Structure 1
Amino acid sequence: MIKKITFLFCMVPFFMAAQDDLLKEIDSTSSNEIITSAYKSLKIVNLESTKLAAKKDLYFVVSHRFGYVENGFEDFFGLDNANTRLQFVYGISDKFNVQVSRDGFQKAYEFAAKYQLVNQKTSGSPFEIVGFNSIAINSELDKVLLPKLKFEDRISYVTQVLVSRKFNENLSMELAPTYFHENYVYFNEQDNSQFALGLGGRYKFTKRWSFNVDYAAHLNRAANSPFKNPLSIGFDLETGGHVFQMHFTNSQGMHESGYLGNTVGDWGKGQISFGFNLIRVF
């Protein structure tokens, strides 16, 4: 019953009802006093940003994560191992997007919706508020090893409220209270329903380059869990029709429940991956 209630709660936003050159997006206040372009990419690094695809725009995102650098030349600093995520994002309207992706981590299929709730304005709301919901299917779970496994055990849900503020032409920050539910958890001590608080920001230091960082603090992780909080640091390069993101992170997962609940890398032990996101708008 709890799983069904959680499913219905997370699905509610699904039933609610890029421009050719990203460099041409307005970096200042428009005539109706709406603050735009807090972020130029759909993600800060792992964390969803408050940017949405414009109506009828189709984004194709290729995300790549190499292995951890800790083994040095043994696996060429992780370059011999990699996960890839392919994602499509479509703007049904300027304020409502749908997404579908496949992540090599957990062989996960994810379906998501992102929708704008409040605009940041010079004489109104000081924040932009965007909702995000996703459903992921972990197809990697092996029924041979887990004979009692059911299809519903493969499913996880994520609900986020993304609250951002563009402080000036260079600096934007974001807070992301998050609830996520995994129908199957790897440790009995771990609650299926979990909570996290995401933090992220972007600092634009040239016309084309910005420094990005995001972090998610898990709020009710089991004491014996080997999983860590995901921390990612990187740079965005704007090159006309697309944004190229380069970063270092301790997370191999790129879909929401994957990086929020199942990050194993430890920055202090050199368990850091190099990765990139390549975003193209059609």
Structure 2
Amino acid sequence: MRNWKISVLFLLVSTYLFAQDDLLNEIDTVAVDKRVNSSFKSLKIVNLESTKLASKGDLYFVVSHRFDYFKNGFDDFFGLDNANTRLQFVYGVTPWLSVHASRSGFNKTYEAAGKYSLMHQEEGGFPFEIVGFNSIAINTALEKDLLPLLEFEDRLSYVNQLLISRKFSDNLSLELAPTYFHENYVVDNNQDNSQFALGFGGRYKLTTRWSINMDYAAHLNRASNSPFTNPLSIGVDLETGGHVFQMHFTNSQAMHESGFLGNTSGKWSKSEIAFGFNLVRVF
């Protein structure tokens, strides 16, 4: 009888010890998420798309407003009498894919886009966040009366971008955006329809709610006599609970990608600078 009790006790102790080993093994094999998050707090730096995507199931409503240039002074109250608005919806389809739809006052442009994650920055691992962005825009302001040979496809423009960012610290994030875009109709006959640009941007966090942002895009094959120039934008982000409020100064009136990349006309040296803001609300 005593031997039976000792055998049962030995079996229970052994089972307990093996169970503890199994639990420890499970703890040891739990995958640790080393992804670096929040390189950028908003979907855009200023004009350039950031590497932030909408989370799965989130719907963003973005109201962007861009006033006219300062250069006319009090005649149009430093540009505030004239304004250009963009309304945009962004939806997170999956954790790695979001889709965009918008309408801009600039050239009465409709745009559809997709943004998708390719690689994640990881602590001690891959050093960059890489995101793809593709868009198609329709310029509905072109008039057939002025362009009698105009076809629907002439209204279209396409953008393909790689967004490559790195969060260097809790305060500093930088981004590089090599870009190919194609405009079926160009204002300058000397301008190639297929065009290339290299975008740069960054965010520096000032406080828990405030950051300063800047972006610039260098057009790499602009025609020598083109009336257009490179877009440069500087602004601040304010995080206020459920939304981000972006305020900025820029020489670009357009807010969709092919518009500001290929059709920016303002020059900072001539006070052709506009005040604008983006109001981002998440549902």
TM-score, length of structure 1 as denominator length:
0.89
Asked whether 1:256 is paired with 2:241, we answer no
Q: Distance in 1 between matches of 2:32 and 2:103?
A: 39
Equivalent residue of 1:142, what SS? coil
Q: Distance in 2 between matches of 1:50 and 1:148?
A: 40
Which amino acid is the alignment partner of residue 80 of structure 1? Answer: D
1:157-198 deviation line (CA, Å, top 9, x unaligned):
000000000000000000000000000001110000000000
Give 2:214's aligned residue.
Answer: 213
RMSD value, Cα: 0.8
1:41-70 deviation line (CA, Å, top 9, x unaligned):
000000000000000100000000000000
Equivalent residue of 1:236, what SS? strand
Aligned pairs for 1:70-109 within 5 A: 70-109=71-110
* 1:123 CA drift (Å): 2.1
Which amino acid is the alignment partner of residue 250 of structure 2? Answer: T
Equivalent residue of 1:195, what SS? strand
Give 2:36's aligned residue.
Answer: 35
Equivalent residue of 1:121, what SS? coil
Which amino acid is the alignment partner of residue 231 of structure 1? Answer: L
Higher relative contact order (CA 8 A, sep 6+): 1
Q: Distance in 2 between matches of 1:199 and 1:253?
A: 18
Which amino acid is the alignment partner of residue 219 of structure 2? Answer: H
Give 1:238's aligned residue.
Answer: 239
Give 1:53's aligned residue.
Answer: 54
Which amino acid is the alignment partner of residue 202 of structure 2? Answer: G
Q: Distance in 2 between matches of 1:131 and 1:266?
A: 30
Give 2:162's aligned residue.
Answer: 161
Which amino acid is the alignment partner of residue 183 of structure 2? Answer: E
TM-score, length of structure 2 as denominator length:
0.89
* Rg comparison, structure with higher value: 2
Which amino acid is the alignment partner of residue 100 of structure 1? Answer: A
Give 1:21's aligned residue.
Answer: none
Q: Distance in 2 between matches of 1:228 and 1:107?
A: 21
Matched residue count: 253
Q: Distance in 2 between matches of 1:111 and 1:125?
A: 31
Q: Distance in 1 between matches of 2:145 and 2:95?
A: 45
Give 2:114's aligned residue.
Answer: 113
Give 2:174's aligned residue.
Answer: 173
1:194-251 deviation line (CA, Å, top 9, x unaligned):
0000000000010000000000000000001010100000000000000000000000
Segments of 5+ residues of structure 1 without an aligned counterpart are: 1-29
Equivalent residue of 2:56, what SS? coil
Q: Distance in 2 between matches of 1:176 and 1:273?
A: 23
Equivalent residue of 1:221, what SS? coil
Equivalent residue of 1:258, what SS? helix
Give 1:152's aligned residue.
Answer: 153
Q: Distance in 1 between matches of 2:200 and 2:117?
A: 19
Q: Distance in 2 between matches of 1:179 and 1:216?
A: 12
Asked whether 1:224 is paired with 2:225, we answer yes
* 1:254 CA drift (Å): 0.2
Q: Distance in 1 between matches of 2:206 and 2:127?
A: 23
Equivalent residue of 1:186, what SS? coil
Which amino acid is the alignment partner of residue 152 of structure 1? Answer: E
Which amino acid is the alignment partner of residue 144 of structure 1? Answer: D
Q: Distance in 2 between matches of 1:211 and 1:118?
A: 26
Residue identity (%): 73
Equivalent residue of 1:88, what SS? strand
Which amino acid is the alignment partner of residue 94 of structure 1? Answer: P
Q: Distance in 1 between matches of 2:202 and 2:63?
A: 22
Asked whether 1:123 is paired with 2:124, we answer yes
Aligned pairs for 1:133-152 within 5 A: 133-152=134-153
